[in-house]
Structure 1
Amino acid sequence: MIIQNLIRAGAGAAQNRQPHEAHLGAYEKFMFLMTVTVAHELMHFFVGYLTGLSSDGTLVGESGRAWEAFVLGGVVETFENVRNPLGAYQAGDFYVIDAQQVARRLDHSCVRRILALDFTFPLQTIGTSTTLSSLDRSARSMKKVRTAVLSQTRIPSPGRDRCGPSTISRDTMRAFLVKFEDRYASV
Protein backbone atom coordinates (compact mmCIF):
# COMPACT_ATOMS: atom_id res chain seq x y z
CA MET A 1 0.00 0.00 0.00
CA ILE A 2 2.90 2.37 0.69
CA ILE A 3 4.24 1.85 -2.84
CA GLN A 4 0.75 2.40 -4.30
CA ASN A 5 0.40 5.60 -2.27
CA LEU A 6 3.86 6.74 -3.40
CA ILE A 7 2.84 6.25 -7.04
CA ARG A 8 -0.54 7.92 -6.47
CA ALA A 9 1.11 10.95 -4.82
CA GLY A 10 3.76 11.22 -7.53
CA ALA A 11 1.14 11.09 -10.26
CA GLY A 12 -0.96 13.68 -8.43
CA ALA A 13 2.02 16.02 -8.12
CA ALA A 14 3.12 15.50 -11.75
CA GLN A 15 -0.40 16.07 -13.08
CA ASN A 16 -0.84 19.14 -10.87
CA ARG A 17 -3.89 17.58 -9.16
CA GLN A 18 -5.42 19.55 -6.35
CA PRO A 19 -4.43 19.90 -3.63
CA HIS A 20 -1.03 19.97 -5.36
CA GLU A 21 1.01 20.70 -2.22
CA ALA A 22 -0.54 17.70 -0.44
CA HIS A 23 0.41 15.38 -3.33
CA LEU A 24 3.92 16.80 -3.61
CA GLY A 25 4.50 16.65 0.15
CA ALA A 26 3.20 13.07 0.30
CA TYR A 27 5.43 12.07 -2.62
CA GLU A 28 8.49 13.53 -0.91
CA LYS A 29 7.62 11.88 2.40
CA PHE A 30 6.99 8.49 0.76
CA MET A 31 10.32 8.72 -1.09
CA PHE A 32 12.06 9.53 2.20
CA LEU A 33 10.21 6.69 3.95
CA MET A 34 11.25 4.21 1.26
CA THR A 35 14.85 5.42 1.51
CA VAL A 36 14.92 4.87 5.27
CA THR A 37 13.15 1.52 4.90
CA VAL A 38 15.59 0.21 2.29
CA ALA A 39 18.59 1.38 4.34
CA HIS A 40 17.06 -0.24 7.45
CA GLU A 41 16.59 -3.55 5.63
CA LEU A 42 20.07 -3.40 4.08
CA MET A 43 21.48 -3.13 7.59
CA HIS A 44 19.74 -6.42 8.46
CA PHE A 45 21.22 -7.98 5.34
CA PHE A 46 24.77 -6.72 5.92
CA VAL A 47 24.84 -7.52 9.64
CA GLY A 48 23.31 -10.93 8.98
CA TYR A 49 25.90 -11.54 6.29
CA LEU A 50 28.80 -10.44 8.47
CA THR A 51 27.73 -12.15 11.69
CA GLY A 52 25.93 -15.21 10.32
CA LEU A 53 22.71 -16.68 11.53
CA SER A 54 21.78 -17.75 15.03
CA SER A 55 21.35 -21.46 15.82
CA ASP A 56 17.63 -21.44 14.93
CA GLY A 57 18.20 -19.76 11.54
CA THR A 58 17.02 -16.25 12.43
CA LEU A 59 19.06 -13.09 12.12
CA VAL A 60 20.61 -11.78 15.29
CA GLY A 61 19.50 -8.44 16.75
CA GLU A 62 17.67 -5.43 15.42
CA SER A 63 20.44 -3.87 13.37
CA GLY A 64 18.03 -1.75 11.29
CA ARG A 65 16.68 0.09 14.32
CA ALA A 66 20.19 0.42 15.73
CA TRP A 67 21.31 2.03 12.46
CA GLU A 68 18.35 4.44 12.53
CA ALA A 69 19.10 5.39 16.14
CA PHE A 70 22.81 5.94 15.45
CA VAL A 71 22.59 7.77 12.12
CA LEU A 72 19.18 9.43 12.21
CA GLY A 73 19.03 10.18 15.92
CA GLY A 74 16.09 7.83 16.49
CA VAL A 75 13.59 5.58 14.78
CA VAL A 76 11.33 7.27 12.22
CA GLU A 77 7.60 6.60 12.69
CA THR A 78 4.61 8.10 10.90
CA PHE A 79 1.33 9.29 12.42
CA GLU A 80 -1.93 10.34 10.80
CA ASN A 81 -2.61 14.02 10.23
CA VAL A 82 -6.42 14.19 10.41
CA ARG A 83 -6.40 17.52 8.51
CA ASN A 84 -4.52 16.06 5.53
CA PRO A 85 -6.83 16.06 2.48
CA LEU A 86 -5.34 12.79 1.21
CA GLY A 87 -6.83 10.87 4.14
CA ALA A 88 -5.64 7.24 4.25
CA TYR A 89 -3.42 7.89 1.21
CA GLN A 90 -1.23 10.40 3.05
CA ALA A 91 2.29 9.69 4.21
CA GLY A 92 1.50 11.10 7.64
CA ASP A 93 3.49 13.30 9.97
CA PHE A 94 6.98 11.94 10.62
CA TYR A 95 8.43 11.70 14.11
CA VAL A 96 11.92 10.74 15.26
CA ILE A 97 11.65 8.64 18.41
CA ASP A 98 14.75 8.25 20.55
CA ALA A 99 15.77 5.50 22.97
CA GLN A 100 13.95 7.23 25.85
CA GLN A 101 10.66 7.10 23.83
CA VAL A 102 10.73 10.87 23.28
CA ALA A 103 9.14 11.84 19.96
CA ARG A 104 10.10 14.92 17.97
CA ARG A 105 8.40 15.97 14.73
CA LEU A 106 10.65 15.73 11.68
CA ASP A 107 11.13 18.99 9.80
CA HIS A 108 9.91 18.58 6.20
CA SER A 109 12.80 20.73 4.94
CA CYS A 110 15.07 17.99 6.31
CA VAL A 111 13.18 15.44 4.16
CA ARG A 112 13.75 17.64 1.11
CA ARG A 113 17.48 18.00 1.91
CA ILE A 114 17.91 14.22 2.17
CA LEU A 115 16.11 13.75 -1.17
CA ALA A 116 18.50 16.32 -2.66
CA LEU A 117 21.36 14.08 -1.41
CA ASP A 118 22.37 16.45 1.41
CA PHE A 119 22.99 13.90 4.15
CA THR A 120 23.28 16.01 7.28
CA PHE A 121 22.64 13.94 10.38
CA PRO A 122 21.07 13.62 12.86
CA LEU A 123 17.74 14.58 11.36
CA GLN A 124 16.40 18.06 12.11
CA THR A 125 13.21 18.20 14.17
CA ILE A 126 10.79 21.02 14.94
CA GLY A 127 8.39 21.93 17.71
CA THR A 128 8.21 20.61 21.23
CA SER A 129 8.95 17.02 22.09
CA THR A 130 6.37 14.61 23.46
CA THR A 131 6.45 11.11 24.81
CA LEU A 132 5.64 8.25 22.51
CA SER A 133 2.76 7.21 24.78
CA SER A 134 1.24 10.73 24.52
CA LEU A 135 1.64 10.66 20.76
CA ASP A 136 -0.03 7.24 20.61
CA ARG A 137 -2.98 8.61 22.59
CA SER A 138 -3.41 11.68 20.39
CA ALA A 139 -2.81 10.26 16.89
CA ARG A 140 -3.12 6.97 15.03
CA SER A 141 0.01 5.50 13.50
CA MET A 142 -0.13 5.36 9.72
CA LYS A 143 0.39 1.61 10.04
CA LYS A 144 -2.99 1.39 11.82
CA VAL A 145 -4.60 3.68 9.24
CA ARG A 146 -3.29 1.55 6.35
CA THR A 147 -4.26 -1.69 8.10
CA ALA A 148 -7.83 -0.43 8.46
CA VAL A 149 -7.97 0.35 4.73
CA LEU A 150 -6.42 -2.98 3.80
CA SER A 151 -8.91 -4.88 5.96
CA GLN A 152 -11.69 -3.39 3.81
CA THR A 153 -9.91 -4.26 0.54
CA ARG A 154 -10.22 -7.66 -1.11
CA ILE A 155 -6.77 -9.07 -1.69
CA PRO A 156 -6.60 -11.70 -4.46
CA SER A 157 -5.38 -15.11 -3.37
CA PRO A 158 -2.41 -16.62 -5.20
CA GLY A 159 -3.29 -18.77 -8.21
CA ARG A 160 -2.13 -22.32 -8.66
CA ASP A 161 0.83 -21.15 -10.74
CA ARG A 162 2.22 -19.04 -7.92
CA CYS A 163 4.33 -20.19 -5.03
CA GLY A 164 2.82 -19.98 -1.59
CA PRO A 165 4.65 -18.90 1.55
CA SER A 166 7.92 -20.67 2.09
CA THR A 167 10.74 -20.76 4.56
CA ILE A 168 14.43 -20.73 3.76
CA SER A 169 16.56 -23.20 5.62
CA ARG A 170 19.80 -22.21 7.26
CA ASP A 171 21.78 -24.31 4.77
CA THR A 172 20.05 -22.66 1.80
CA MET A 173 20.79 -19.21 3.22
CA ARG A 174 24.45 -20.07 3.81
CA ALA A 175 24.75 -21.43 0.25
CA PHE A 176 23.25 -18.20 -1.09
CA LEU A 177 25.66 -16.08 0.97
CA VAL A 178 28.67 -18.11 -0.21
CA LYS A 179 27.59 -17.63 -3.85
CA PHE A 180 27.00 -13.94 -3.18
CA GLU A 181 30.45 -13.56 -1.65
CA ASP A 182 32.12 -15.42 -4.53
CA ARG A 183 30.34 -13.32 -7.14
CA TYR A 184 30.88 -9.90 -5.52
CA ALA A 185 34.14 -10.35 -3.58
CA SER A 186 36.10 -8.37 -6.17
CA VAL A 187 33.61 -5.48 -6.32
Structure 2
Amino acid sequence: MAGDSYIRFKFQMGLSIAHEIVHLLTGFTTGDPNPLTPPEVSLLRYGDSAAGEAGRYWGHILFGGVVEFWSFNDDPMNVRQTGTAFFLKNGDRNVTGYAVLVGYMNKFAKQGKFLSSQLLRALP
Protein backbone atom coordinates (compact mmCIF):
# COMPACT_ATOMS: atom_id res chain seq x y z
CA MET A 1 0.00 0.00 0.00
CA ALA A 2 2.76 2.47 0.86
CA GLY A 3 4.32 1.99 -2.59
CA ASP A 4 1.07 3.16 -4.18
CA SER A 5 0.80 6.28 -2.02
CA TYR A 6 1.91 8.71 -4.75
CA ILE A 7 -0.75 7.41 -7.15
CA ARG A 8 -3.38 7.46 -4.41
CA PHE A 9 -2.45 11.03 -3.41
CA LYS A 10 -2.61 12.23 -7.03
CA PHE A 11 -6.04 10.68 -7.46
CA GLN A 12 -7.27 12.06 -4.14
CA MET A 13 -5.86 15.53 -4.82
CA GLY A 14 -7.38 15.67 -8.31
CA LEU A 15 -10.82 14.75 -6.99
CA SER A 16 -10.54 17.13 -4.03
CA ILE A 17 -9.51 20.11 -6.14
CA ALA A 18 -12.26 19.45 -8.69
CA HIS A 19 -14.80 19.07 -5.86
CA GLU A 20 -13.81 22.46 -4.42
CA ILE A 21 -13.82 24.12 -7.87
CA VAL A 22 -17.46 23.04 -8.19
CA HIS A 23 -18.18 24.96 -4.96
CA LEU A 24 -16.29 27.97 -6.32
CA LEU A 25 -18.29 27.90 -9.56
CA THR A 26 -21.54 27.55 -7.62
CA GLY A 27 -20.70 30.75 -5.74
CA PHE A 28 -19.58 32.50 -8.92
CA THR A 29 -22.77 31.68 -10.80
CA THR A 30 -25.03 32.84 -7.96
CA GLY A 31 -23.16 36.12 -7.52
CA ASP A 32 -23.61 35.85 -3.76
CA PRO A 33 -20.44 36.30 -1.64
CA ASN A 34 -21.78 33.70 0.83
CA PRO A 35 -23.83 31.39 -1.37
CA LEU A 36 -25.61 28.28 -0.27
CA THR A 37 -25.84 25.46 -2.75
CA PRO A 38 -29.50 24.96 -3.67
CA PRO A 39 -30.93 22.09 -1.57
CA GLU A 40 -31.92 20.20 -4.73
CA VAL A 41 -28.23 19.91 -5.65
CA SER A 42 -27.27 17.23 -3.16
CA LEU A 43 -27.21 13.51 -2.49
CA LEU A 44 -28.88 11.34 0.08
CA ARG A 45 -27.60 12.13 3.59
CA TYR A 46 -25.57 15.14 2.47
CA GLY A 47 -26.67 18.74 2.68
CA ASP A 48 -29.67 19.90 4.67
CA SER A 49 -32.93 21.71 4.07
CA ALA A 50 -31.16 25.07 3.70
CA ALA A 51 -28.18 24.04 1.59
CA GLY A 52 -27.14 21.25 -0.74
CA GLU A 53 -23.73 19.77 -1.51
CA ALA A 54 -22.58 20.67 -5.03
CA GLY A 55 -19.22 18.90 -4.80
CA ARG A 56 -20.70 15.50 -4.01
CA TYR A 57 -23.45 16.05 -6.58
CA TRP A 58 -20.74 16.65 -9.22
CA GLY A 59 -18.91 13.49 -8.15
CA HIS A 60 -22.11 11.51 -8.51
CA ILE A 61 -22.59 12.85 -12.04
CA LEU A 62 -18.97 12.08 -12.98
CA PHE A 63 -18.64 8.62 -11.44
CA GLY A 64 -22.24 7.48 -11.00
CA GLY A 65 -21.61 7.48 -7.25
CA VAL A 66 -19.33 9.00 -4.64
CA VAL A 67 -15.63 8.30 -4.09
CA GLU A 68 -14.55 8.66 -0.46
CA PHE A 69 -11.17 8.04 1.16
CA TRP A 70 -11.24 6.19 4.46
CA SER A 71 -8.26 5.97 6.79
CA PHE A 72 -7.36 3.13 9.10
CA ASN A 73 -6.04 3.45 12.66
CA ASP A 74 -3.62 0.54 12.24
CA ASP A 75 -1.91 1.97 9.14
CA PRO A 76 1.81 2.48 9.91
CA MET A 77 1.71 5.82 8.03
CA ASN A 78 -0.77 7.09 10.65
CA VAL A 79 -1.96 10.61 9.68
CA ARG A 80 0.26 10.63 6.57
CA GLN A 81 -1.70 7.80 4.94
CA THR A 82 -3.73 8.35 1.81
CA GLY A 83 -6.47 6.07 3.02
CA THR A 84 -8.35 3.67 0.81
CA ALA A 85 -10.64 5.01 -1.91
CA PHE A 86 -14.13 3.54 -1.80
CA PHE A 87 -16.92 3.95 -4.34
CA LEU A 88 -20.44 4.30 -2.91
CA LYS A 89 -23.19 3.99 -5.51
CA ASN A 90 -25.59 6.53 -4.00
CA GLY A 91 -23.59 8.45 -1.43
CA ASP A 92 -25.34 6.82 1.53
CA ARG A 93 -22.78 5.60 4.04
CA ASN A 94 -24.94 2.56 4.79
CA VAL A 95 -24.50 1.06 1.31
CA THR A 96 -21.72 -1.35 0.42
CA GLY A 97 -18.51 0.45 -0.56
CA TYR A 98 -16.20 -0.98 -3.19
CA ALA A 99 -12.46 -0.34 -3.13
CA VAL A 100 -11.28 1.65 -6.16
CA LEU A 101 -8.48 -0.23 -7.90
CA VAL A 102 -5.02 1.35 -7.84
CA GLY A 103 -4.73 0.54 -11.56
CA TYR A 104 -7.78 2.71 -12.23
CA MET A 105 -6.33 5.55 -10.12
CA ASN A 106 -3.05 5.28 -12.03
CA LYS A 107 -4.76 5.52 -15.44
CA PHE A 108 -6.95 8.38 -14.24
CA ALA A 109 -3.99 10.33 -12.82
CA LYS A 110 -1.50 9.65 -15.64
CA GLN A 111 -3.77 9.84 -18.68
CA GLY A 112 -6.08 12.52 -17.33
CA LYS A 113 -9.02 10.78 -18.93
CA PHE A 114 -12.42 10.11 -17.50
CA LEU A 115 -12.73 6.34 -17.28
CA SER A 116 -15.97 5.72 -15.39
CA SER A 117 -16.76 2.58 -17.38
CA GLN A 118 -13.48 1.04 -16.19
CA LEU A 119 -14.20 2.03 -12.60
CA LEU A 120 -17.66 0.51 -12.72
CA ARG A 121 -16.48 -2.62 -14.52
CA ALA A 122 -14.03 -3.23 -11.67
CA LEU A 123 -16.87 -3.33 -9.14
CA PRO A 124 -18.75 -6.54 -8.30
* Counterpart residue type for residue 69 of structure 1: H
What TM-score results when the alignment is normalised by the length of structure 2? 0.69
The total of aligned residue pairs comes to 105
Q: Could you tell me how far 1:84 is from its partner in structure 2?
A: 4.3
Q: Compare relative contact order (CA 8 Å, sep 6+) and give the higher one, 1 or 2.
A: 2
Q: Tell me what 1:30 maps to.
A: 9
Unaligned runs of 5+ in 2: 38-51
Secondary structure in structure 1 of the residue aligned to 2:18 = helix
| Kept after mapping to 2: 8 A contact 1:113/1:119 | no
- 1:69-148 mapped onto 2 (5 Å cutoff): 69-81=60-72, 84-99=75-90, 101=92, 102=95, 103-116=97-110, 117-121=112-116, 124=119, 126=122
Q: Quick check: which has more Rg, 1 or 2? A: 1
CA distance in 1, matches of 2:118, 2:75: 23
Q: Percent identity?
A: 27
Check if 1:65 corresponds to 2:60.
Answer: no
What TM-score results when the alignment is normalised by the length of structure 1? 0.48
**More helix by proportion, 1 or 2?**
1
- 1:134-173 mapped onto 2 (5 Å cutoff): none
Q: Superposition RMSD on alpha carbons, in Å?
A: 2.5
Task: Provide, for residues 13-71 of structure 1, a one-character-per-residue CA deviation record: whole Å limited to 9, x for no partner.
Answer: xxxxxxxx61x3111111111100110011111122113338xx333231111000110
Q: Could you tell me how far 1:118 is from its partner in structure 2?
A: 2.8
Measured at CA, do residues 112 and 29 of structure 1 come closer, stay the same or move farther in structure 2, by a change above 3 Å? same
